[in-house]
Structure 1
Amino acid sequence: MRRRGFFALGLAVAACATGCGTEGSLGGRAVNAAGLSGRFAIVPGAGRWARVAKALVKTARDAGFPISGTPPVTRITVTGLPALAATELNNGLSLLDTATPLARLTGQIEVVVVPAHSKFATFDQFGAQLVAHPDRTPLTGGPQGEPDHLLFGLIAKGLGADTRQVDYTGFPGSEEATAALLGGKAAAATGTLADWRRAIGKGQVRVLAVSSARRVDGVEAPSLLECGVRVDFADWCAAVGPEGMSEDGKAVAIRLCDEITESASWRAACRAEGWTSIPLSGDDFEQWLASEIGRTRAVLRDLGMLDTADTTCWGSCAQGH
């Protein structure tokens, strides 16, 4: 596998989740007709989640939760899959160790694309090439270790290809990945549907498959599941609270997240931004997050980016995994 300039994300998820200062954070006393009360701030764990955090604040206001900047407040941090992967790559503690999982919020569907005149007419043809020659099938997308790279790792593993031989070049943005694909430097690329819509609309690329469990309206391509790859994948984000939240505080925060994600205002915000609402909260979300940590750790190991062979224990493991 080629390792071209992977830079760990400085997302500081643990610090934010435990109440670090974040410029521009929004807080307020959550009180509405349901009788919920508590003082909260909703902050992004990094700039990439700023729009989600802003939408959460607006929707909270629409639902009757006053938002102000008056301390003291309990931080609700918006974070996601890239931060989880970066933590694993840096041998850090997982979100289960450094934060209180509250709710999954949104996901962005990813696509596998090829140039319009690619020899690969179908995903099956691309998959056959990847299995036969993983080291001679150049792939591209976002930075190494981030969701685009993870998806290609999951695809390779699902097809039975030698995952450690996958030839992947990551770029900091979708424009650079698009240029590499259209310039003949890559055979295929992954990325969010939102990032590739323009190139798709202009007829520059074709979609071979989508990463969701079902087909996507307006996209003429099968799901990976239809193609025989047992992968249901999204670049997701979620809300977490500080480590060690009281059970009462956690319950109120989860109720707040539930009210927001069930509201018409939130659904409208997701439609406007092109996000897929994938709400899951409380114990169900915590169990899902544990499995997602395991899956992410496993694919990073399969790609040769982690040395540990253990994919079942968390950051607090006595062995230091």
Structure 2
Amino acid sequence: MKIQTRKGTGMAITRRQWLAVGLSIPLTLAAGTQAAISGSASGARTALTLLVGAAPGGGWDTVARELQAAMRENGIVSNPQVVNVPGAAGTIALEQLLQMRGQSDVVMITGTVMLGGVVVNDSPHDLTATTPIAHLADDYEAIVVPADSSLKTLDDLVAALKEDPGAVSFGGGSLGGTDHLLAGLLAQEVGVNPSEVNYVPFAGGGEAVSALLSHSVTVGVSGYNEFADQVTAGNLRLLGIASPKAVAGVDGPTFSEAGYKAYLPNWRGAVAPAGLDAEDAAELTAILSETVKTPEWKDALKRNKWVDAYQEGKEFREFVESETSRVTKTIEELGL
């Protein structure tokens, strides 16, 4: 797959560099030392750090801040803090989390993007090295174009790809992430060699939207919520959402409705450091379980067009293992 390199977009680094990065990151995220998450006199846990492996404003950050608001509003955690550690598709944050072995006051927001980032960036660890806590929601990928684009439908996009793959530039997030994978999967399905796809990675959704509006890229690929405002405003047009069935609040065809099999959920979940004892893991699970039952979280699902996909315990652990294997195999098959 042809990749246009851009500064700060998470290009692959070596395992040696990863270890150096890991050693340079402080072990304590929040101010002070590790805080207990046991219940306070009011019934609320006193502190919890929500680690986000991306800059403010993106999908993981939005999940963390929605959780933070729901926890505070309902007295589940009295002082939840969001800490952003961006870079390399979240794998810098992953390495930091794994240095906190046994620490029970932190969870990291993660998902499909990080699975791909682990492979592309040759990270020394993957999510199976963590303690899985909960699968929170799915955010399906969308493909959009500028409103004045000559591409009106997914069929038009496919025709353009078949005619000249290099002439159709896909703007999306980090290398090996869901945006990158979807471009490759669609190309593969319609008989175009994924290695010929022209993929342009951006550090965040805002950059990708700007590139679309300035016609610097042909097509945008991301979670629908990244484009929703511009689609509603009439500046971007939704060609399709990569979901097997309609998503509430999204006015546009699914890939399935348009006749394409490719689909890709960008799942959102929470994991904790390795080495937690059963009691600490159960406590963190209880926090997330309580939070997703709140009116605030249910409203967040609706506003952000997320699909409820809650899992915990053994079910989520098996899901993480399965997804790690599936995404790794897909990246290798697509030559990404």
TM-score range, shorter chain: 0.7 to 0.9
Say whether residues 1:243 and 2:295 are aligned partners: no
TM-score by length of 1: 0.76
Say whether residues 1:111 and 2:150 are aligned partners: no
Matched residue, 1:7: 10
Matched residue, 1:313: none
Between the aligned partners of 1:172 and 1:223, the Cα distance in structure 2 is 26
Structure 2 alignment gaps of length 5 or more? 81-102
Matched residue, 2:91: none
Match of 1:67 among 78, 81, 87: 78
Local SS of the residue matching 1:112: strand
Match of 1:22 among 22, 29, 47: 29
Local SS of the residue matching 2:228: helix
Matched residue, 2:126: 94
Shift of 1:100: 0.7
Figure out how many residues of one structure are paired with residues of the other and give that number: 295
Between the aligned partners of 1:45 and 1:221, the Cα distance in structure 2 is 30
Q: Which amino acid aligns with 2:126?
A: S
Structure 1 alignment gaps of length 5 or more? 306-321
Say whether residues 1:42 and 2:45 are aligned partners: no
TM-score by length of 2: 0.73
Between the aligned partners of 1:294 and 1:157, the Cα distance in structure 2 is 19
Shift of 1:211: 1.9
**What is the Cα-based RMSD across aligned positions, in Å?**
3.4
Deviations 1:103-141 (A, max 9, x none): 112333321112323333321232233245323322222
- Preserved CA contact (<8 Å) 1:38 1:252: no
Shift of 1:195: 2.1
- Preserved CA contact (<8 Å) 2:147 2:235: yes
Matched residue, 1:317: none
Between the aligned partners of 2:234 and 2:295, the Cα distance in structure 1 is 34
Matches for 1:155-304 after TM superposition, within 5 Å: 155-272=186-303, 275-304=306-335
Between the aligned partners of 2:250 and 2:48, the Cα distance in structure 1 is 38
Q: Which amino acid aligns with 1:221?
A: G
Instruction: Give the percent of matched residue pairs that are identical in Structure 1 and Structure 2.
Output: 25
Shift of 1:9: 8.5
Cα 1:176–1:146 change in 2 (3 A) is same
- Preserved CA contact (<8 Å) 1:105 1:278: yes
- Preserved CA contact (<8 Å) 2:188 2:194: yes
Between the aligned partners of 1:202 and 1:64, the Cα distance in structure 2 is 37
Between the aligned partners of 2:36 and 2:65, the Cα distance in structure 1 is 14
Shift of 1:73: 4.2
